[in-house]
Chain A
């Protein structure tokens, strides 16, 4: 990854009639990074991607790729290539001709095309399958052909529209690693659109989270998880327990808050949110909570509760605990170290949390928690 920006989007808007699909999108993508646009369906992420590809013109704003303003430049003249959600493998062509399709538009000699095609197929581990028909491919193979067909063009930016959504879970996880390795070894900028937070987190250098046409936060996966900029991001990425807190004391780096149930604790300030007023929204990740039969002494804050539900996930056990004074149930996730489920519904338990793992989500809105 370099410091150079390969894509600059400035004040980009897209309206379809009266529907605002993308509003005021300003985003810089670095050369060689794996960037994901993450958001629920209909949040405008695909429209944003299609504006980079050139399939859609921004209503307002500017898209610059590699220093060149893309205004008026059609998709077939842009230094980008796309992997489509449906893969769009040409059904009347075999694998080799699919991959060679774009090269033939460039007037390259036949022998050179064949060499590049077989190289691209090797790269996606489909070496020697040139003459395989498009209809004889499995889902995973189609995805690889689509990747090879786009990468053989040596684009400055590879665009991926939900590239893994059509694959089953095992294959999807395998492809996540393969695509990540491919991206790192080629050094090409990948921009992926996905609604799957795990996919985005495992593959990306940075993630941009979009809601209702707006880019809400852009950060590395770990930062996004640890310091979400608001309640929406916090609940879209991973699971989160929310509770209100009253601010007692405030310094540049910490807040002392009092929350119902857990009492008073000192938590770190979240650099991604506005300065809180009298009250803040607190977030606690389920895996940051300890659950025990006795009051755990080593925690900053503890509270007593009653187990309502237990869900066994294999690698983790999830508990839902009702605590007096907290409106919603608190979710706790415990790693399954010893193949035991220690608590059952109705059990009295203690919850413990360290102040430093509680997330400050800024000024509390009027929305009910």
Chain B
């Protein structure tokens, strides 16, 4: 066998370090024992079966689905208009506003979360799913703006002019030309922003109050050793769902940029 170069060894070690813990999660979720350690005693689906019977789990799953869907729709519709403006128009403060939109990517979550909590309470909004939705919309906006900007980058501006020239008004042009052409980008944005919200913990922990989302529920369960295998099973399912969603989103994103050559 060919000897590996230093760079290849580094790359392999890096991947192992990054992904092996993630792969251990599903592995132990099938382990027929409550202690997370090798050797594995036997294989079971018991933990997955038990998940279905947990009312609080199902409740938090529903919460997460609600929050994720609403936040995805909100951030994608805001991102749609923002991205079109960023790509199409030159205006004062363009770079500044683009920077502001991207800021949540770099500001530590705990800072955003605690300041939002203070802000929401001061305007009379108690910690609730609504508060989480608002927080997640902010957090997901940079993702939807980046995805939709790439959709508009490939969009020939004369397509909109042609629609206008052929008698469509502004809204007709948007509905019959702009929207159908950027639909793959929109779908991709909805899927990605949904995933961002679905996996988010810090903001949800601060803002969800008595209505935990799924990550908050998982965190609460980790305190009970007996529940650990259930948590592993749940985590594995979440991992699978996230990966699937992101793959689909990427396929849509690629479709949107191939289509417009």
Distance, CA A333 to CA B163, complexed state (A):
48
- Size category of the A interface is 20 to 34
Q: Secondary structure of the B side of the interface? A: helix
Residues B143-185 near A (CB distance < 8 A): 156, 158-159, 161-169, 172, 176-177, 180-181
Residue numbers in B under 8 Å from A74 (CB-CB):
164
CB of B259 within 8 Å of the partner chain:
yes
Residue in B159, B164, B172 whose CB lies within 8 Å of A90 = B159
CB of A101 within 8 Å of the partner chain:
yes
Residue in A86, A90, A153 whose CB lies within 8 Å of B177 = A90
Residue numbers in B under 8 Å from A76 (CB-CB):
164-169
Q: Indicate whether A75 sits within 8 Å of B165 (C-beta atoms), given known contacts A86-B158, A88-B159.
A: yes
The answer to whether B260 and A91 touch across the interface, beta carbons within 8 angstroms, is yes
Distance, CA A80 to CA B159, complexed state (A):
16
Residue of B nearest to A74 (CB): B164
The answer to whether B181 and A82 touch across the interface, beta carbons within 8 angstroms, is no
Distance, CA A81 to CA B165, complexed state (A):
6
The answer to whether A101 and B166 touch across the interface, beta carbons within 8 angstroms, is yes
Nearest Cβ on chain B to A73's Cβ, whole angstroms: 13
Residue numbers in B under 8 Å from A135 (CB-CB):
259
Nearest Cβ on chain B to A326's Cβ, whole angstroms: 48
Nearest Cβ on chain A to B162's Cβ, whole angstroms: 4
Residue numbers in A under 8 Å from B172 (CB-CB):
105
Distance, CA A362 to CA B156, complexed state (A):
46
Distance, CA A91 to CA B169, complexed state (A):
19
Distance, CA A135 to CA B177, complexed state (A):
16
**A residues lining the B interface (CB < 8 Å):** 53, 55, 74-77, 80-82, 84-86, 88, 90-92, 101-102, 105-106, 135, 149-150, 153
Closest 8 CB pairs of A and B: A102-B166, A105-B167, A88-B162, A88-B158, A84-B158, A92-B180, A82-B165, A88-B159
Q: A90-B163, A91-B260, A92-B259 are in contact. List 10 more A-B contacts (CB 8 A).
A: A53-B165, A55-B165, A75-B164, A76-B164, A88-B162, A90-B177, A91-B259, A102-B167, A105-B167, A135-B259
